[in-house]
Amino acid sequence: MRWDIFCKVIDNFGDIGVCWRLACDLAERGEQVRLWVDDASALAWMAPGGHANVQVLPWHTLPDGTWQMPPEVHNAPWPDVLIEAFGCEPPGEWLASLPREPQGTPPVWLNLEYLSAEDYVERSHRLPSPVWHGPGAGLRKVFFYPGFTARTGGLLREPGLIEACDAWQANAEGMLQWLSQLPWQSGKPRAHARRVSLFCYAPSPVGPLLQAWADMATPLDVLLTPGQATQAALAWASTPEGQAALGLGTMQLVPLATALPQPDFDRLLWSCDLNVVRGEDSAVRALWAGRPHLWDIYRQDDGVHADKLAAFEQRWMANWPAALQEAVHHVQAALNGLDHRTGERQSVAAALHWLMGPEGWPQWQAHQRASRQALATQQDLCTQLLAFVTSAR
């Protein structure tokens, strides 16, 4: 089938990250995919080699508000499937030109929504929405929700991903050798140290986490992704507290010089003992890595991100011991600037020390792995999309 995916890059590249993974997953399964994107610049580092079966097309709007159609698609066949990623509203001219019944067969139009673990996702998944007005009048849109339960659209998970991850993690020497060859700005990961990846938003208060890690007796390398995470960590390192903590010598900050392509970013997560990730795309990849992780969720002005984080914690940690749940929740709340909701039960340092100590660490590793295995029994997003579209046509 022919698929058109429309994507607008809002900020932080999460939108195009998800859309590119979906496009490649579909293409690997034999589908014909065109990715329409208003700013494809991030693909230069995210996917430098592109994909032979994914055509990236510019989505340009002229100053008068009309859409500029690329010449190469003027006589191309209509798509069988139209995916509107995250409510990005495809060009009106494009929608108006699509075939309608009974004269022709319209594409299956799907609005691929943002990821959430909240209850409304199950109620809203696959809900149809006939379009009565505007350029899309006469078509029908269906809301497709990724999620964490069998009554949702699932998560992106390419065939063989779990097996590839497990095989990678079984080769400790190979992981370290691969890590040493990455473009580090300064320093390199040490063989005897625990590894933490840090990929966070700029406003995130990472100082308490870094301070707690520096105070641990176990050697620890914090591998910093370029941009906001490196800036936040180095800002902390320049303070008197940070300088004193780094002077202890057990923790080192290891910044990457350049951003990694998606496959290498996945391997970075596989190679770390703890992953601090942000947004949607990297959070899902951290789940599949099967290692302990902390989620710096995308902040929203109305504060609903707090409810989204709480809903995720309730589902992901449903079968975990209470003490483990509380410690992870406490640290995650602090990372997201929500620690005012946790009360004064324990400090971030105390929670992290327990989580990464002899009592908490084995529990965290085991339950993270178990939650991953349970999630992997559900059908992935791409498989569900293909099944739905096949039944809808």
Domains by residue range for the chain, with CATH: 2-155+379-392 (3.40.50), 161-377 (3.40.50.2000)
**Per-residue pLDDT averaged across 48-73, rounded?**
86
**Per-residue pLDDT averaged across 114-123, rounded?**
97
Q: Which of 176, 170, 122 is nearest to 146 (CA)?
A: 122
Please count the other Cβ atoms lying within 10 Å of the Cβ belonging to residue 105.
Answer: 13
How many angstroms from the chain centroid is the CA of residue 258?
A: 19
User: How does residue 76 score in pLDDT terms, banded at 50, 70 and 90?
Assistant: confident
User: How does residue 341 score in pLDDT terms, banded at 50, 70 and 90?
Assistant: low
* Rounded percentage of the chain residues whose pLDDT exceeds 70: 98
> What integer pLDDT is reported at residue 345 of this predicted model?
45
Which has the minimum average pLDDT: 13-22, 66-75, 209-218, 297-306?
Answer: 66-75
Task: Give the H/E segment covering residue 306.
Answer: helix 305-316
* Residues 209-240: tens digit of each pLDDT: 999 999 999 999 999 999 999 999 999 999 88
Q: Catalytic positions, please?
A: 15, 280
Q: Which two tokens stand for residue 65?
A: 């508000």
Q: Which two tokens stand for residue 377?
A: 């029994």
- Which is more confident, 62 or 123? 123
- Which is more confident, 320 or 94? 320
User: How does residue 340 score in pLDDT terms, banded at 50, 70 and 90?
Assistant: low
Mean residue pLDDT across the chain: 93
Q: Which of 265, 304, 300, 305 is nearest to 282 (CA)?
A: 265
**245-249 long-range Cβ contacts below 8 angstroms, 24+ apart:** 245/210, 245/211, 245/214, 245/215, 246/214, 248/214, 248/215
Q: How far is CA 208 from CA 237, 324, 339, 349, in A?
A: 12, 19, 12, 7
> What integer pLDDT is reported at residue 382 of this predicted model?
99
pLDDT at 343 over 80: no
User: How does residue 12 score in pLDDT terms, banded at 50, 70 and 90?
Assistant: confident
